[in-house]
């Protein structure tokens, strides 16, 4: 081997190590965004007692991060395409870090709501920009596909970590310390981004569809708020109908504007690819399944079984282990059997886990190992696989110049899915019914996606 060959091999190894470091940084940021969304669920009772908040206030607090996050994602994606992924990522991280520092200092509910809203707005810039930068890190389609197979499971991993660690942190210290995690990750990412992440070229020829951005943001936010408040208000009340109908009207207007826009925020052709639409539906359903399970079982274990926050967190440890194992196996399985097959199989396994939980998990007298453990292993194993496969399907064939758009759409499905489906499923009148109905929806989606891949 010549000196030139040795130098070339060393450069290749160094480049591969740099790509791995960049992926770890971007993946940690993505997981932290969802960690921050989930981390407030378990400590809500403590926050209510400390700040004197009523149930309706706590519902609004739990939604204050997700509403701007979901509503601004499409705009965030287009900003990443227009101004460059790393620049948009840095701006979003700065806002996210500032809000994460302000939240634990909040002396009242209003200040905490404002901080959570700002966190969500920062996250809406970061999430699609991170996917745009990821595309610049992994240039070849094969390498990008492998990266997306792993990327797909990061969000559910972040949600699991948020639910687990928030209980531990609240029990050991205070709910205010849960904001230390997003603050530290955001500051570390801001420091490392210039060294590890490529400076993606902005698309100066692209214009921003401001009418579309305003309509999409207002429509998604209003409709999501209307769905959130169905928890303690009837569907026929003005407090539910007004935002729901107003949000729906704005979204119809948004779609009409996009049909005529020269450079639309969401090109209609982007959603005309059947496999992409099915993949986005799978992401929405899987996100809903995991979120619903955490909410239903956390409340059940604390209220029906009188478990502490720490014990509830411990109960979900097998969930996290199964999630990690399945996420690690997903990429090789996708390479061997294809993204469609892995997505369908993951949805089927998740459906089986939800049915088991619906049948046995809510029996307060049944032992944990029999009633909860099987479902808490099957569901995350299936969810991680379906997220991984669907992320690959959703990003297939997307031009590099629209990587931010793809990230915005994928994350919108992930955020809006639980909000929309939560309201519908919880209106069925029982936790077991909600879990069973979600399992049936996952099973139906598995069949449709399997047939689409034949």
- For residue 299, give the H/E element and its range: helix 274-303
Q: What are phi and psi of 284, to 5 degrees?
A: -60, -45
195: burial class by Cβ within 10 Å (0-12, 13-18, 19+)?
A: exposed
Task: Read off the pLDDT band of 424 (50, 70, 90).
Answer: low
pLDDT band at 231 (very low <50, low <70, confident <90, very high): low
Q: What is the pTM of this model?
A: 0.77
**Residue 92 contacts residue 144 (beta carbons within 8 Å):** no
With a CB cutoff of 8 Å and minimum separation 6, the contacts of 397 are 273
283 vs 5: which has the higher pLDDT: 283
Domain borders along the chain are 17-193+263-452, 214-262
Domain topology for 17-193+263-452 = Growth Hormone; Chain: A; (1.20.1250)
Rounded to whole angstroms, the Cα distance separating 346 from 134 reads: 24
Q: pLDDT tens, 395-415? A: 877 777 777 777 778 777 877
Give the pLDDT confidence of 254-289 residue by residue, as tens digits.
888 888 877 777 777 777 778 888 888 888 888 888
| Residue-wise pLDDT tens digits, 141-189 | 777 777 777 776 777 778 778 877 887 888 888 889 999 999 999 999 9
């Amino acid at each position: 081997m010549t000196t030139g060959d040795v130098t070339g091999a060393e450069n290749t190894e160094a480049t591969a190590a740099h790509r791995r470091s960049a992926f770890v940084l971007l993946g940690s940021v993505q997981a932290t965004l969802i960690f921050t969304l989930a981390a407030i669920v378990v400590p809500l009772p403590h926050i209510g007692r400390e700040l004197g908040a009523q149930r309706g206030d706590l519902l609004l607090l739990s939604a204050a991060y997700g509403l701007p996050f979901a509503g601004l994602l499409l705009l965030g994606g287009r900003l990443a395409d227009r101004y460059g992924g790393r620049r948009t990522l840095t701006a979003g991280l700065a806002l996210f870090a500032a809000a994460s520092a302000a939240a634990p200092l909040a002396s009242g509910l209003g200040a905490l709501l404002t901080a959570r809203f700002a966190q969500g707005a920062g996250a809406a810039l970061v999430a699609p920009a991170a996917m745009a930068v990821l595309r610049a890190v992994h240039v070849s389609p094969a390498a990008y596909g492998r990266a997306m197979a792993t990327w797909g499971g990061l969000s559910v991993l972040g949600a699991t970590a948020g639910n687990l660690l928030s209980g531990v942190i609240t029990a050991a210290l205070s709910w205010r310390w849960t904001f230390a995690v997003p603050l530290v990750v955001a500051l570390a990412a801001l420091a490392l981004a210039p060294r590890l992440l490529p400076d993606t070229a902005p698309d100066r020829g692209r214009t921003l569809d401001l009418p579309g951005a305003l309509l999409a943001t207002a429509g998604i936010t209003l409709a999501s708020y209307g769905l959130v408040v169905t928890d303690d208000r009837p569907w026929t009340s003005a407090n539910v109908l007004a935002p729901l109908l107003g949000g729906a009207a704005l979204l119809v207007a948004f779609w009409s504007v996009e049909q005529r826009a020269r450079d639309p925020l969401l090109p209609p052709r982007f959603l005309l690819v059947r496999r992409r639409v099915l993949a986005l539906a799978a992401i929405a359903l899987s996100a809903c399944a995991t979120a619903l399970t955490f909410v239903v079982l956390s409340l059940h274990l604390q209220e029906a079984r009188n478990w502490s926050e720490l014990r509830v967190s411990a109960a979900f440890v097998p969930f996290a282990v199964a999630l990690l194992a399945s996420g690690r196996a997903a990429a090789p399985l996708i390479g061997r059997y294809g993204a469609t097959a892995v997505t369908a199989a993951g949805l089927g396994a998740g459906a089986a886990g939800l049915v088991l939980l619906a049948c046995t998990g809510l029996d307060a007298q049944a032992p944990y190992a029999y009633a909860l453990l099987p479902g808490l292993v099957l569901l995350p194993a299936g969810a991680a696989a379906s997220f991984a496969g669907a992320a690959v399907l959703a990003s297939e064939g997307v031009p590099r110049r629209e990587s931010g758009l793809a990230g915005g759409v994928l994350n919108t499905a992930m955020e809006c899915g639980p909000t929309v489906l939560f309201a519908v499923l919880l209106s069925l009148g029982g936790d077991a019914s909600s879990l069973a109905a979600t399992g049936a929806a996952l099973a139906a989606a598995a069949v449709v996606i399997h047939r689409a891949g034949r």
